[in-house]
Chains A and B, each alone.
Chain A
Amino acid sequence: MNVDLILSAFNRHHAEYILIGGMNFFLVHQPVTTFDVDIWIEDSAANHKAVHAALSDVGAEVSFSPKGDDWRLVSQLDGPDWLARAPLFCLLCPHGAIDIFRSVRGLEAGFAACRAHCPVRHTPTGVPFRSLTDELMVACQLALPENERKLDRLRLLQASQPIQGGG
């Protein structure tokens, strides 16, 4: 997986996104087993265009069929309107698997409100990316059913939270 190439494509096309999920945790805290890059995008027509361009650049392909028998390169689709067809898509590209989220459970405040709290961080090789905060990563985990939560991840995140209400 080459997360640098994926994030660079999003940056190059000025896509509004926040890195979430296991890869964000991996880059901010410690290695965890994760096999895709989870990206929360601003859900607007203008941003869909930028995201479509970025996904085209990295050679991503997508399937809309329940059977998964209609994989097509994003670059060969008519335009970005496909992004409005479902709340999330699991894509594949030569650099790794990419999950695109238009909304995220636990982050119902919405993209703009969350983005304001999310810092720009850098991968080890210096590629900038907007990164979901620890507090919001906790909110995502707590929104999951208990048996789906990543407990090790949750414990570390909660331990890193600032103490609330202190002087």
Chain B
Amino acid sequence: MNEPIISAGDLAAWKAQQEANRAARERALFPAAELWRRQQEALAALAGLRPQGRQQLPEPEGPAASGQNAAQ
């Protein structure tokens, strides 16, 4: 059960697989429109609460609109 899942050198493939699986899970749990709304609301809330004041939100990008993971 707790043996290593991947060997050294497979990290990039493992990361891509984990991200893709999570994106699929997220889409299954939350319909796309709902997911996009939740993301934008979160961005707006965080931007509005920043001590430096409100800043313009970034324009939606392709990966964001399709619900893919965009971090790092």
Residues of B within 8 A of A161 (CB): none
Interface residue count on the B side (C-beta < 8 Å): 39
CB within 8 Å of A: which of B1-58?
Answer: 1-6, 11, 14-15, 17-22, 24-26, 29, 38-39, 42-43, 46-47, 49-51, 55-58
B72 contacts A33, C-beta separation under 8 Å: no
Of the residues A64, A67, A92, contact of B22 by C-beta under 8 Å: A92
Of the residues A61, A65, A90, A124, contact of B19 by C-beta under 8 Å: A90
Interface residue count on the A side (C-beta < 8 Å): 43
Considering the complex, give the chain A residue whose CB is closest to the CB of B29.
A92
Judged by a CB distance under 8 angstroms, whether A31 is at the interface is yes
- Please, how many angstroms separate the alpha-carbon atoms of A124 and B44 in the complex? 13
- Please, how many angstroms separate the alpha-carbon atoms of A31 and B57 in the complex? 6
B21 contacts A88, C-beta separation under 8 Å: no
B71 contacts A92, C-beta separation under 8 Å: no
- Please, how many angstroms separate the alpha-carbon atoms of A73 and B38 in the complex? 22
Binding site for B on A (CB under 8 A): 1-3, 20-23, 26-27, 30-36, 38, 61, 63-68, 71, 78, 81-82, 84-92, 96-97, 99, 124-125, 140
- 9 nearest CB pairs, A to B: A68-B21, A124-B49, A90-B18, A1-B42, A81-B2, A36-B71, A90-B22, A31-B47, A21-B72
Question: What are 13 inter-chain pairs, A to B, with CB distance below 8 A?
Answer: A21-B72, A31-B46, A35-B71, A68-B24, A71-B25, A85-B2, A86-B14, A87-B11, A87-B14, A90-B21, A91-B22, A92-B26, A124-B50
